[in-house]
Structure 1
Amino acid sequence: MSIAPDASDVNCLEFKLPDLGEGLTEAEIVRWLVEIGDVVVVDQPVVEVETAKALVEVPCPYAGMVTARFGEEGAELPVGSPLLTVTVGPEVGAGAGHDARGVSRGSGASRTGAAGAGAGDSTGASGADDDSSGNVLVGYGTGGAVAARRRRVRVTGGTRPGSVPPSALRAGPVPVISPLVRRLAREHGVDLRGLAGSGPDGLILRSDVEQAIRTPAAEGTDQAARVDAGPAPEPVAAAAVAAPGATTATETSTAVAGSRVPLRGMRGAVADKLARSRREIPDATCWVDADATELMAARAAMNAAAGPTVPKISVLALLARVCTAALARFPELNSTVDMEAREIVRLPSVNLGFAAQTDRGLVVPVVREAGGRTTESLNEEFIRLTEAARNGALTPAELTGGTFTLNNYGVFGVDGSTPIINHPEAAMLGVGRIVPKPWVHEGELAVRQVVQLSLTFDHRVCDGGTAGGFLRYVADCVEQPAVLLRGV
């Protein structure tokens, strides 16, 4: 814990790590966004934390000067434990444009209400909780958290804590939501204040920073280095739960022989889920080779007919559409098992999980109500979720609730795999690389685009006949896409 000197004669408010939702009970401190002695305003993000679901920013519901931080970067804190303390006094409030209680002047309606579980308890004047904003997480809680971001004021050496010289005030907030974008800019020395974002309302995207890195002259200037983001990167469908042996570039570069890597955060959650899946699910795998030549031709024809301005239909979107059609025929595989009640629970809708490669590794976004979507709708959702994953903007709700996983491990250059089921789901469809191979086509040997399909399933929910029927239908649709039209 770090504590600022000369923090007397002011009220001290303690801000606790809030309830992050989705049943999460702890978080790892990734990066502090404020230093001891900084003056913060209501809803200013003060720390970046990693949970088992996502990387999120935590805003402070109070205005004042930071006098203590609890926990160093890399430390894990349970929900409800002290995160930092903020001193509130007349001089601090005056310097930040707030009154002594940390309430924004001229705000009109009072911003009172519950601050959320663990949002902070007053250790000073009573009633301080009523003056907090109620926004416990950027993107969560009551509305307006992102819009409420304001400039951060740093108390420089020689200035009495609590007083803020006018020269220390910044011109305004930097329009960046993603902590990964800020990290990328920091690591490459890019001044975000000199960039104009290409996103909505001038939001600075990862592509803007990457363009600035490629064009050093654009750094530190007032002219934006704009770049056409183009179509989102092809989603990678080999989730961490599906490829436990795979390592990302980041993992490879930081691995040291003989070292110990803590299993916490997302990696720890993945480890727990893998172990639980192996303990509880009696899984089995069947596979088949399929001629994907017609599927690839159909994709090319669809994209050519749509024109150059329409996002290209991905192979993953086509396979997702095949999956939803197969699950409609074989609903046993869109279920889960309740062993306490000794029941198989058939789920009412298909929430299709896939995976996207990010700087932090592989994450598994979920397409909600995938069964009722067209191929174009699935493709649009894959693009949106993949871009959010790359920018670190996925919410916990977008990373949970999957009922079936599509695992395209072919992007790793392999033909087959027997992945571990994403507990508590009942099945996972694996897709290998699509490559030219010798194939008997219409009675003659020919070179065709061949793919290996595999299905890992929970043997408690069905027998091999059902699993084989599902996989055979998927293979038939891959070989003859017109088969899908039978159910339209």
Structure 2
Amino acid sequence: MAQVLEFKLPDLGEGLTEAEIVRWLVAVGDVVAIDQPVVEVETAKAMVEVPCPYGGVVTARYGEEGTELPVGAPLITVAVGSPDAAAVGPAGEPAAEAEGSGNVLVGYGTQAPARRRRRVRTQLTVANGTAPAAPAPAPAPTLTPEPAAPESLAPQGPVPVISPLVRKLARDNGVDLHALRGTGPDGLILRADVEAALRVEATAPPTTAPPTAASEGTRIPLKGVRGAVAEKLSRSRREIPDATCWVDADATELLRARAAMNATGAPKISLVALLARICAAALARFPELNSYVDTEAREVVQLPGVHLGFAAQTERGLVVPVVRDAHTRDAESLTAEFARLTEAARAGRLTPGELTGGTFTLNNYGVFGVDGSTPIINHPEAAMLGVGRIVPKPWVHEGELAVRQVVQLSLTFDHRVCDGGTAGGFLRYVADCVEQPAVLLRTV
């Protein structure tokens, strides 16, 4: 006889207490294997897939896409030991009845099931195994003309939509999928159905709004990655007395050195990797900038290793992946790690461990076509090196005016950890390495 087990949103680590459902990966009635990902969620740190520790038949899902759930809230229920679909393990072997893997999230280890907590039913939508009859196909989508039903009588369960992109299109434009009749097979809602509903709304007469509605503007919730970034930047501004110094540098020789490296047939070296090597060498000379302030102990803590963060812009906002032990890596290793973390950032697959623990940040804002910036320090770090675009400019080279490849470098630093002399010395050393890469040979 099947036993129905409830799987709850697990503790995702790093002090995270909630997550938003981005995309369901299973439907009611699907057979799932032990440790199979069942839902994709976004936390304040990253986008992650949550695996279910049970194998069996999905009997219910809790929460629509876009719903924010607290840790411990129910996600799905699974019938384990069902005669129709026996629980299976990752390799297809039968699993013991009423047992799971114990895993709660890939990359976060295992733990016992979380203790039972009170369900937050006001935020949840439950889909049981009994599906309502599909509406008859219609030649074009129509909006339900009747007044909206009370919340307790609102349609329950997921709406059949052809793809997550169509669901996102509806959510972004405020289209209620429950109010649409899909023109696809068995009432499946297509992209054309959502677009047609938007055209209907665009031609509908405007409704009377309160006098202040027009002046309120569009409200965008500060949650997930963007909310975490906002909170961290605000804290940095409140707690860190920062200052910025900058210098122009002739990067012509650095570009030539990189071109020579990449002409050998070996793996290509990125410019950001060379800048990272320069940062690591500079921090070895000026360790005050590889530190943080322990405000409770009133101490500056200088760190032995360089874990180099770098700013990466994604569709979900600004994130700062961290290259571990950057001071021990050569240019090839740094190039490969920057590429891996950048790809993971764009795909929303960075783990909390890859987004925390940095000791110094490299910010290449030149990719946005700007020369300079005064960035906000990535709390609780003590400094950030900014790199502008590299462009040809008139420059006095060896006593003569010439066109050279010039870049503006800036250093924003916590004035509690050092004075301007130390910050200026660090920045000047970085500029010297950019202008004369052979300077790095002294520290290799």
Q: What TM bracket, shorter-length normalisation?
A: 0.7 to 0.9
Q: Which residue of 2 aligns with 1:379?
A: 335
Judge conservation of contact 1:367–1:381 (CA < 8 Å) in 2. Answer: yes
What residue number does 1:228 align with? none
Three-state SS of the structure 1 residue aligned to 2:306 is coil
Contact kept in structure 1, 2:2 and 2:83, CA below 8 Å: no
State the distance in 1 between where 2:254 and 2:236 align.
33
Q: Quick check: 1:140 aligned with 2:100? A: no
Q: Aligned partners of 1:187 and 1:20: how far apart in 2?
A: 26
Which residue of structure 2 aligns with residue 364 of structure 1? Answer: 320
Cα distance in 2 for partners of 1:106, 1:407 equals: 47
Task: Spell out the pairing of 1:77-476 with structure 2 (5 A cutoff).
Answer: 77-88=69-80, 93-98=82-87, 107=93, 128=98, 131-142=99-110, 187=165, 258-305=217-264, 307=265, 310-476=266-432
Q: Using the alignment, how far apart are the partners of 2:399 and 2:382 within structure 1?
A: 38
The one-letter amino acid paired with 1:97 is: A
Distance 2:313 2:34 in 1: 34
Kept in 2: contact 1:40–1:96 (CA 8 A): no
Q: Distance in 2 between matches of 1:50 and 1:106?
A: 29
State the partner residue of 1:147. Answer: none
Work out the CA distance in 1 between the residues paired with 2:387 and 2:92. 58
SS of the equivalent of 1:95 reads coil
1:368-403 alpha-carbon deviations (Å, 9 max, x no partner): 011111122211211222233333332221111111
Structure 1 residue identity aligned to 2:290: N
- Secondary structure of 2:72's aligned partner: coil
Structure 1's 84 and 435: CA in aligned 2 closer, same or farther, altered over 3 A?
same
CA contact (8 A) 1:41 1:96 kept: no
- Taking the aligned partners of 1:104 and 1:422, their CA distance within structure 2 comes to 40
Query: Given the two structures, how large is their TM-score scaled by the length of structure 2?
Result: 0.73
CA–CA separation in structure 2 for the residues paired with 1:104 and 1:334? 44
Q: Provide the secondary structure at the position in 1 that maps to 2:4.
A: strand
Q: How does 1:16-55 map to 2 (within 5 A)?
A: 16-55=8-47
Q: Relative to structure 1, is the Cα distance of residues 103 and 318 closer, same or farther in structure 2, using a 3 angstrom cutoff?
A: closer
Q: Distance in 1 between matches of 2:32 and 2:346?
A: 29
CA distance in 2, matches of 1:261, 1:50: 16
Report if aligned partners of 1:39, 1:155 keep a CA contact under 8 Å in 2: no
Change in Cα spacing, 1:266 to 1:104, as seen in structure 2 (3 Å) is closer
Deviations 1:396-435 (A, max 9, x none): 2111111100000000000000000000100000000000
1:35-87: per-residue Cα shift (whole Å, max 9, x none)?
23333332221111001111111111123333332222212212112222223
Q: Give the Cα separation in 1 of the matches to 2:374 and 2:91.
A: 60
CA separation of 1:103/1:389 partners in 2, compared to 1, >3 Å: closer, same or farther? Answer: closer
The TM-score with structure 1 as length reference comes to 0.67
**Letter matched to residue 418 of structure 1:** T
In structure 1, C-alpha distance between the alignment counterparts of 2:381 and 2:131, rounded to whole Å: 56
CA gap 1:106/1:437 in 2 versus in 1, 3 angstroms: closer
Q: Distance in 2 between matches of 1:380 and 1:103?
A: 34
- How many residues end up aligned between the 2 structures? 354
Tell me how far apart the structure 2 counterparts of residues 268 and 398 of structure 1 sit (CA, whole Å). 18
In 2 relative to 1, CA 483–106 (structure 1 residues): closer, same or farther, beyond 3 Å?
Answer: closer
Q: What are the Cα deviations for residues 449-476 of structure 1, in whole angstroms up to 9, with x where unaligned?
A: 0000000000010010000000000000
- Residues 34 and 106 of structure 1: is their aligned pair in 2 closer, same or farther, counting only changes over 3 Å? closer
Q: Once the two structures are superposed, what CA deviation does each residue of 1:346-378 show, in whole Å capped at 9, x if it has no partner? A: 111000011334443432211101111112221
CA deviations on 1:173-194 (whole Å, 9 max, x unpaired) are: xxxxxxxxxxxx9649xxxxxx
CA deviation profile, 1:118-143 (whole Å, cap 9, x unmatched): xxxxxxxxx94xx1111211343259
Aligned to 2:153: none
Amino acid at match of 1:64: G
Give the counterpart letter for 2:342 in structure 1. T
- Structure 1 CA distance, aligned partners of 2:430 and 2:365? 17
Provide structure 2 residue ranges, at least 5 long, that are not aligned to the other structure. Answer: 112-127, 134-162, 167-215
Give the stretch that moved more between structures: 462-471 or 62-71.
62-71
Call closer, same or farther: CA 1:380–1:476 in 2, change over 3 Å: same
Q: What's the % identity of the aligned pairs?
A: 78
* Equivalent residue number for residue 163 of structure 1: none
Letter in 1 for 2:85: A
**2:273–2:334 contact (8 Å) kept in structure 1:** yes
Query: Partners in 2 of 1:141 and 1:287 — Cα distance?
Result: 44
